[in-house]
Structure 1
Amino acid sequence: MSAPFRSGPVTAPIPDPGPAALAERAVRALAAADSRLYQLLADDLRAQAGTLSLVASAGAGPVSALAGAGALGTVAAHGYPGRRLRAGCAEADEVERLAVHRAMAAFSARHANVQPHSGTAARSSVCFGLLEPGDTILVPDPAGGGQHALGSPVSVSGRYFTAVSYGFDTVGRVDDDRLLRLARRFRPKIVVCAAGDHPRTPDFARFRAVADEVGAYLLADISEVAGLVAAGLHPNPVDDAHITTASTAQLGARGGVILLGKDADTPVPGAHHTLRRLVQRSVFPLTQGAADAAAVAAKARVFAHVTTEGFGRQARRAVAGARRMAAVLLDHGHDVLTYGTDNHLVVTNVMSRGTTGVVAEAALESCGLLTARARVPFDVKPPQVGSGLRVGSNVLAARGMSADDMAGCAELLDTVLGAVTPRSDTEYSLPDAVRLRVRDAVTRLCHRFPLPDYPVREDPSDGRAATAC
């Protein structure tokens, strides 16, 4: 039988009990009206409590953001603050203005649109606002690790626009010469620099020079490194790129954001408005309807959170820990792309050891270690299989792990990957003794490094309380 959860201590007074009372009433109503769904949510907390997430695109934001995500439930926020198409949006207007102000402060931007429902939605809005069907975009090669939502034939951008992919060299770095040759040959309308897809820092100024030479817009996407950018640990592209986009999910709030820097008030050729105005129109009404006011409230919270010293310390642990994990994997003979990392992400070519990405992911998950399959440069495996494995340090850092602790996690990865025997591209065997030993180590780490402020549950094995992860 699953161990019950109990509440942790309340550490701060609540100035207005309204939101807290509504949140408690909502949870109790769910338990009474839909026990199946309620139990699934409780099961998810237990699943988090027993696993270590090394998924590079995952993040663990402040639990306070969850309060925002449950607010403003009856608001129909079509349009922008002060110019809504429905009544009853006065408070939602103030929440959105707060989110915009905080986003601009966190990323040193001159304009922010906080309405996109995801990072993909943010990028799609930019593309549909700037391009006509069939226009050319220059994107990172999905076969080498680029995003499938950027120009891949399975994505809307790949179907409506002509995507040309620039590649990577044999160790996984951007092939600068090929980038320039393709830009000169195809004259794209947008050049995309996806900063968070790779373990090395891109040269934003060089990307801008390439875009300027061919008369293109530079779109920088910082979805996976937005927290590092806000913490000052990664170069900020806001003034190098014409437009910067990001997912906010890794920060702790589902959604996306579009940022503009020094080019915000640049006139758009062939139009009677600026880039700032184009971005606003590209989100609403071109590609989205009503804003998700609750998600905007959650974004307002996380944009403030990423400017705190506490988050800065967490981000520094993430970078230091990722470098240590890369070093440990290299020491054990793993084929680590670019031989290291500049951020939170480590990518390894597991096919060089005879294992596919999906097999490595499944074997590790069976031991309580969550990772993600990936494609690597010159990969011949399909996306569902992949030849690589992506691991990240964000959630480990949020738990409070040091670089030494994360090095221990890399040792666990090596133990599993060294013991797995592939039976096919998707099937494998793993000795039970290895699985049990690693699973036990993961459980002990989860108890030692819980995520802060999450509910706690009693550990039935020894009667002690363990915080849910």
Structure 2
Amino acid sequence: MKPLSKIDNFEDLLTKGISNLKLRDPEIAKILDAEVRRQSQTLSLVASCCAVNTESLVAAASSLVNVTAEGFPGKRYHAGCENVDLVEALAIERARNLFDAEYASVQSHSASSANYQVYSAFLKPGDTLLGMALDNGGHLTHGSPVTFSGLNYKAIGYGTTTDGLIDYEEVRSLALEYRPKMIVCGATAYSRTVDFAKFREIADSVDAILMADISHIAGLVAVGLHPSPINYAHITTTCTHKQLSGPRGGLILSGRDAERIVPGTEKTFAQTLDAAVFPKMQGAPAVNIIAAKAVAFGYAMTPAFKEHIHRIRSNADIIAKAFDSRGYEVVGQISENHTVLIRLSGNMTGAIAESALEECSILVNKNRVPGETRSSFVTSGLRIGTGSLSQRHFDAKGCEAVVGLICNILDSVEPDGEKAYKLDKQLVDKFTAESYRLCEEYPIAEYQY
């Protein structure tokens, strides 16, 4: 019998795993290779996406995945957690330093999970939750009737003005009328700055808890290009994969309120949040993902990350102006973060635009816009983000070329209903070739940090 090979270091384990995957499951290995090629040959303008940095990718593939570690550092329900404790403690320390927070919980499996954990900590079924309406840029977990947040709580939605700005007077009016137990600020399709101080003022006026969801702007907040909610919101949540370029996962933070007693209880906000994550809502954490989060937090404190986030911000300005110059309506007129929300006109729908652009190797996503009359599967808008382009080091010339290509494609499309369309095959080939050319000019290798 052939003796088993000894593996006692991280690099050998990964090398062996890659080799065995190609040998024993070539079908999956082939698909994984194809996905790398697809991403390298596609211009992604999806606002919720950035590529994970390679160091986080490797950490996520570590042997930490083998460890069951219910509990928290120094207080586990299982043995064999000495290295797990070091990893989680480091992730917590880095998250606190990155966002200047007093408290950080790194175990949430996603930002949606983090939001639900916060709700479960402070709300009872039927309590009133005031969040941004989906049509005006809010997230599903901020009170949509098809989700946990809308089904279990009395969800009230605030919106934007005709200029596409958060209507703070409406927020105040709704808060006074409904006296919500919690107010949620933050958005998934909103291109302007969020005034967290004003939200806290409104929350305090009705004795509500304020939660800020910064999943889309966490990188901007981390480097100071967007005001931070940490010491305005009682609790802040975010994902770790969008602007932070880490693994898919969630993060819960708190600032000056962390050690305050939650009204009506004997526990602090920090203690209440810990209990909501474990054991209330989750069991054992994905410690390999926590390691990948720690790597991402470390990278987010480097000059290279700050340069990347500055590119995200400046490229959004360039793209907004370029669409405006081509006659497209930019909701909110300008961008103050990474998002550009476009309202389509005539018979062009978001579903048609998304499909036609994907056919030409450009990814965007259809999105509802203020005053939306079409369904979520059709929509009247496009949400565009600059994260992935900025990771490729796109400059002003490149961004303008992308917008020009998008507009040329959409100008060539003949809508046929809400989802069907006609686009000449020769034009598809021409536009796809131009997408490939831009991918080669700004290669994916540029963002392998």
Q: TM-score, normalised by structure 2?
A: 0.95
Structure 1: which amino acid aligns with 2:287? A
Deviation at 1:400, TM superposition (A): 1.1
1:142 aligns with 2:134: yes
Deviation at 1:354, TM superposition (A): 2.4
* 1:205-244 paired onto structure 2 within 5 Å: 205-244=197-236
Aligned partners of 1:190 and 1:217 also within 8 Å: yes
Structure 1: which amino acid aligns with 2:254? L
Q: Per-residue displacement from partner, 1:257-284 (whole Å, max 9, x unpaired)?
A: 0010011111011211100111111111
Instruction: Tell me the equivalent position of 1:29.
Output: 20
CA distance in 2, matches of 1:171, 1:32: 57
Q: Per-residue displacement from partner, 1:104-156 (whole Å, max 9, x unpaired)?
A: 11111111000000010011100001000100000100122211122111111
1:289 aligns with 2:280: no
Aligned partners of 1:151 and 1:157 also within 8 Å: yes
Deviation at 1:441, TM superposition (A): 1.5
Instruction: Tell me the equivalent position of 2:111.
Output: 119
CA distance in 2, matches of 1:161, 1:452: 46
In structure 2, relative to structure 1, the CA distance for the partners of 1:31 and 1:454 (3 Å cut) is farther
Structure 1: which amino acid aligns with 2:253? L
Instruction: Tell me the equivalent position of 2:322.
Output: 328
CA distance in 1, matches of 2:265, 2:85: 28
1:158 aligns with 2:150: yes
In structure 2, relative to structure 1, the CA distance for the partners of 1:454 and 1:138 (3 Å cut) is closer
1:448 aligns with 2:444: no
Match of 2:253 among 254, 259, 272: 259
CA distance in 1, matches of 2:9, 2:143: 46
Instruction: Tell me the equivalent position of 1:197.
Output: 189
Aligned partners of 2:221 and 2:228 also within 8 Å: yes
Aligned partners of 1:140 and 1:167 also within 8 Å: yes
1:375 aligns with 2:349: no
1:100 aligns with 2:92: yes
Deviation at 1:287, TM superposition (A): 0.8
Deviation at 1:454, TM superposition (A): 7.9
Aligned partners of 1:195 and 1:225 also within 8 Å: no
- Residue 164 of structure 1 aligns to a residue in which SS? strand
Match of 1:318 among 312, 316, 321: 312
Aligned partners of 2:393 and 2:446 also within 8 Å: no
CA distance in 2, matches of 1:80, 1:368: 44
Instruction: Tell me the equivalent position of 1:79.
Output: 71
Instruction: Tell me the equivalent position of 1:10.
Output: none
> How many residues are matched?
440
Deviation at 1:17, TM superposition (A): 8.1
- Residue 66 of structure 2 aligns to a residue in which SS? coil
Give unmatched runs, 5+ long, in structure 2: 1-6
Give identity over the alignment, percent. 39
Aligned partners of 1:321 and 1:404 also within 8 Å: no
1:389 aligns with 2:382: yes
Match of 2:423 among 430, 443, 468: 430
Match of 1:70 among 61, 74, 80: 61
The RMSD of aligned alpha carbons is 1.6
Deviation at 1:228, TM superposition (A): 1.2
1:275 aligns with 2:269: yes
Give unmatched runs, 5+ long, in structure 1: 1-15, 456-468
CA distance in 1, matches of 2:163, 2:232: 26
Deviation at 1:364, TM superposition (A): 0.6
Q: TM-score, normalised by structure 1?
A: 0.91
Aligned partners of 1:321 and 1:407 also within 8 Å: no
